[in-house]
Homo-oligomer: A and B are copies of this chain.
């Protein structure tokens, strides 16, 4: 293996990244390992983390609060784009990787490190997202992905290794779903979910939310305000986007909203199956589309549907820091200039129902839409419209179909 003197490791404090520290030191000639933990709102205790990292052999731990950046530079652009992957997945893990990658590169530069390591397996999307993010800022940086290199092939073997190396973390051979959590979502994979024929055991799985059955019998009404596509208020009170997500996570979670069970196509070529909880995000996406339904004209709205699909794909594929994603964001931002207004929602046992939309930029005109006469729309115009819109059909029928 190459000569590596100092490695920056994306560190969570879990079993995986804990055993990577001694493994790196063992396999790279006692190299120095600097750990970096990102606070993305995963809601776990980060206070004992430094002790643990150093106890496992790291020389230093950076704890980086990236919540604001995650929301403003990743989540909001996705929300404006209505970006979604395969019609269901709100990209919670996808956009959390590039942001960490960028910070890893910054720390590696500051620390003069010669490699970056991560604990992703060789079968998942996250390795790609991490490494594309690293390449975008440090194309020549050595990347170490122990799961693609070592002989450890299971949790049991990890624990054996941890015991062998005296790694001071609480070990349990109990298995659990593989999870990824941040401010936006919580994902679950593995165990019984690995067979798509199995119904998810939501009672065991859910953490951010309750199942619709357990949600209150009374609906919750909530009003969201948007300015240029960005959520700004809940029930008339201004909050930062981070706070808005946190508050909507509570409301959504309580009402059983945002639970998705998905068989998805990974970038690395196989299908996988997961359960996602995105309570606040699901509300925000729904509300944003509602306000857009009033504020975007048809041509823009229809084209944006196609952009949403591509945008979601790019984010899922880890292509955040690419010219195409940036150009699509420029498109999206332009469309959002009039996406301003209020959406009242009724949350009830897994359902989001619209209870009223208003906007100063509304393109809906009651006068024009309704049955009777108005000043702008002359019903006689419809005949001409239909005749020309239908001209190709008529011409074809006249010239061809008779043959």
Whether the Cβ atoms of B302 and A313 lie closer than 8 Å is yes
Contacts A370-B190, A380-B122 hold; do A364 and B219 have CB atoms under 8 A apart?
A: no
Is A24 an interface residue when CB atoms closer than 8 A count as contact? no
Q: Could you tell me which residues of chain A, from 362 to 403, have a CB within 8 Å of some CB in chain B?
A: 362-366, 368-373, 376-400, 403
Q: How far is the CA of A194 from the CA of B365 in the complex (A)?
A: 9
Closest 10 CB pairs of A and B: A384-B384, A122-B379, A269-B391, A381-B384, A265-B298, A139-B394, A199-B355, A331-B331, A139-B397, A330-B334
Q: Could you tell me which residues of chain A, from 60 to 96, have a CB within 8 Å of some CB in chain B?
A: 86-87
Contacts A131-B386, A330-B333, A385-B384 hold; do A358 and B196 have CB atoms under 8 A apart?
A: yes
Residues on the B chain within 8 Å of A303, using CB: 310, 324, 327-328
**Would you give the 0/1 interface string for A142-163, flagging 1 where the beta carbon is closer than 8 Å to chain B?**
0001011000011000000000
Q: How far is the CA of A48 from the CA of B331 in the complex (A)?
A: 46
Chain B residue with Cβ nearest A275 = B354
Whether the Cβ atoms of A365 and B399 lie closer than 8 Å is yes
Whether the Cβ atoms of B348 and A128 lie closer than 8 Å is no
Residue contacts A-B, CB under 8 angstroms, 28 given: A123-B379, A128-B389, A132-B386, A136-B397, A145-B382, A195-B366, A199-B344, A212-B349, A213-B219, A263-B364, A264-B293, A265-B297, A265-B301, A268-B382, A269-B395, A270-B364, A270-B365, A270-B391, A270-B392, A297-B392, A300-B327, A322-B393, A330-B330, A330-B334, A331-B334, A350-B350, A368-B391, A376-B398
Whether the Cβ atoms of B379 and A394 lie closer than 8 Å is no
Q: How far is the CA of A305 from the CA of B319 in the complex (A)?
A: 19
Number of chain A residues close to chain B: CB under 8 A: 130
Contacts A383-B145, A397-B137 hold; do A391 and B364 have CB atoms under 8 A apart?
A: no
Whether the Cβ atoms of B349 and A323 lie closer than 8 Å is no
Q: How far is the CA of A262 from the CA of B301 in the complex (A)?
A: 14
Chain B residue with Cβ nearest A378 = B387
A271 to chain B, nearest CB (A): 4
Q: How far is the CA of A339 from the CA of B237 in the complex (A)?
A: 45
Q: Which of B138, B212, B362, B371 contacts A399 (CB 8 A)?
A: B362
A176 to chain B, nearest CB (A): 13
Chain B residue with Cβ nearest A384 = B384
Chain B residue with Cβ nearest A360 = B403
Chain B residue with Cβ nearest A329 = B334
Whether the Cβ atoms of A382 and B154 lie closer than 8 Å is no
Most buried by B among A344, A363, A381: A381
A117 to chain B, nearest CB (A): 13
Q: How far is the CA of A387 from the CA of B87 in the complex (A)?
A: 27
Whether the Cβ atoms of A356 and B199 lie closer than 8 Å is yes
Whether the Cβ atoms of A132 and B382 lie closer than 8 Å is no
Whether the Cβ atoms of B391 and A377 lie closer than 8 Å is yes
Contacts A298-B265, A309-B302 hold; do A394 and B376 have CB atoms under 8 A apart?
A: yes
Whether the Cβ atoms of B379 and A323 lie closer than 8 Å is no
A353 to chain B, nearest CB (A): 7
